[in-house]
Amino acid sequence: MIRILGIETSCDDTAAAVVADGQTILSNIISSQNEFHAKYGGIVPEIASRKHVELILYVIQEALDKASVTAEQLDAIAVTNRPGLVGSLLVGLCAAKSLAYCYQKPLIGINHLLGHVYANFLTHPHLEAPHLSLTVSGGHTLIMRVASPTQYEILGSTVDDAVGEAYDKVAKFLGLGFPGGPIIDNMAKTGNPDAIEFPSPLIHSDDLNFSFSGLKTAVIRYVNDEQAAGREINYPDVVASFQKAAIRVLVKKVISAAKEQRVSTVTLSGGVAANSALRETLIQDAQRAGIAVYYPPLVMCTDNGAMIAGVAYHLYQQGVRSDWHLGAYANLPE
One domain, residues 201 and 111: no
Is 325 among the domain residues? no
Beta pairing class for 3-8 and 265-269: unpaired
- Calculate what percentage of the chain has a pLDDT beyond 70: 99
**For residue 137, what pLDDT is reported?**
93
**For residue 38, what pLDDT is reported?**
86
115 is annotated as contributing to ligand binding: no
137 is annotated as contributing to ligand binding: yes
pLDDT tens track for 291-306: 999 999 999 999 999 9
Is 96 among the domain residues? yes
One domain, residues 85 and 228: no
One domain, residues 178 and 313: no
Task: Give the whole-angstrom CA distance, residue 81 versus residue 327.
Answer: 7
Residue 36: pLDDT band with limits 50, 70, 90: confident
**For residue 40, what pLDDT is reported?**
85
One domain, residues 50 and 93: yes
What's the chain look like in SS3? Answer: CCEEEEEECCCCCEEEEEEECCCEEEEEEEECCHHHHHHHCCCCHHHHHHHHHHHHHHHHHHHHHHHCCCHHHCCEEEEEEECCCHHHHHHHHHHHHHHHHHCCCCEEEEEHHHHHHHHHHHHCCCCCCCEEEEEECCCCEEEEEEEECCEEEEEEEECCCCHHHHHHHHHHHCCCCCCHHHHHHHHHCCCCCCCCCCCCCCCCCCCCCECCHHHHHHHHHHHHHHHHCCCCCCHHHHHHHHHHHHHHHHHHHHHHHHHHHCCCEEEEECHHHHCHHHHHHHHHHHHHCCCEEECCCHHHHCCCHHHHHHHHHHHHHCCCCECCCCCCCCCCCC
Beta pairing class for 76-82 and 141-148: unpaired
6 is annotated as contributing to ligand binding: no
Q: Which structural domain, as residue segments, surrounds residue 210?
A: 128-300
One domain, residues 135 and 108: no
Q: What angle do CA 212, 52, 77 make, to 5 degrees?
A: 100
CA distances (Å), 243 to each of 171, 235, 237, 249, 276, in order? 11, 12, 10, 10, 11
Is 323 among the domain residues? no
**For residue 205, what pLDDT is reported?**
94
Is 334 among the domain residues? no
Are 55 and 14 in contact by the 8 Å Cβ rule? The answer is: yes
Q: What angle do CA 127, 131, 133 make, to 5 degrees?
A: 100
135 is annotated as contributing to ligand binding: yes
Segment 136-160 shows an average pLDDT of 95
- Mean pLDDT computed over every residue of the chain: 96
Is 112 among the domain residues? yes
One domain, residues 224 and 175: yes
Task: Give the whole-angstrom CA distance, residue 142 versus residue 195.
Answer: 28
- Is residue 334 scored above 90 in pLDDT? no
181 is annotated as contributing to ligand binding: yes
First to last CA, the chain: 35
One domain, residues 285 and 147: yes
One domain, residues 268 and 147: yes
Is 122 among the domain residues? no
Is 192 among the domain residues? yes
Are 212 and 163 in contact by the 8 Å Cβ rule? The answer is: yes
**pTM for the predicted model, two decimal places:** 0.95
One domain, residues 144 and 267: yes
**For residue 333, what pLDDT is reported?**
67
pLDDT tens track for 74-120: 999 999 999 999 999 999 999 999 999 999 999 999 999 999 999 99
- Calculate what percentage of the chain has a pLDDT beyond 90: 95
Is 234 among the domain residues? yes
Ramachandran category for residue 79: left, alpha or beta (phi over 0 → left; psi -120 to 50 → alpha): beta
One domain, residues 230 and 264: yes
214 is annotated as contributing to ligand binding: no
Segment 140-144 shows an average pLDDT of 96
Residue 36's CATH number: 3.30.420.40
303 is annotated as contributing to ligand binding: yes
Residue among 250, 247, 219 at smallest CA distance from 235: 219
pLDDT tens track for 149-161: 999 999 999 999 9
**For residue 332, what pLDDT is reported?**
81
One domain, residues 140 and 279: yes
Segment 157-182 shows an average pLDDT of 95
**For residue 35, what pLDDT is reported?**
85
One domain, residues 289 and 308: no
**For residue 3, what pLDDT is reported?**
98
pLDDT tens track for 215-269: 999 999 999 999 999 999 999 999 999 999 999 999 999 999 999 999 999 999 9
Into how many domains does the chain fold? 2
275 is annotated as contributing to ligand binding: yes
Half-sphere exposure of 223 (CA within 13 A, CB side): 18
